[in-house]
Amino acid sequence: MNLTRWFLWTATSLSMASAHAGSDVVLIDHMEKAYTVYAGLPLDRAEAAKSKLEGKPVEMVPFEKFAENQKKIIGDRIVRNDYPGSRAEEGIVALIDKYPGTPFGVTWNGGIALTRNDYQAAKKAYEAFNTPEGFAKPELANDPVAPINHLKPLLGW
């Protein structure tokens, strides 16, 4: 995630999280091929964000619709699922519900990205995937985007 985008998400998230404790709308950022960023916002703050995000590949989906269609909305962006059975889609919905205003990324291979390191690892992995040598998923202990490495500490799964 580049610095400008990180700043925009952080500023938007901080200003939006304070007004309401829930996620009424989910912002979905499709700007990168290596990952998609999701953030839950209260309805009043989502309207304010529209003007800031106008013209960008971002969509807003009601939280209920997002939760009901998680497999399609999130799963359709996964190019190759390296984490079958990880409950990543369900985990993203739970994270958005529990941590409104916080951006969470789902990587091209079904991982979860939270930190700058995670997003950079996803970009490097996606670039490697698109070379003749390809991409080999690292061992779980060394895998920055393995869903379990984020879902367990944040949700207790």
What is the percentage of the chain residues whose pLDDT exceeds 70?
87
Please write the tens of the pLDDT for every residue from 53-74.
888 888 999 999 999 999 999 9
More confident: 103 or 136: 103
Say if residues 106 and 91 touch (Cβ distance below 8 Å): no
Burial of 153 (0-12, 13-18, 19+ CB in 10 A): exposed
Q: Give the structural domain span for 75.
A: 3-155
Domain count, the chain: 1
Considering the entire predicted model, what is its pTM?
0.81
Strand partners, 27: 39, 60
Per-residue pLDDT at 133 exceeds 90: no
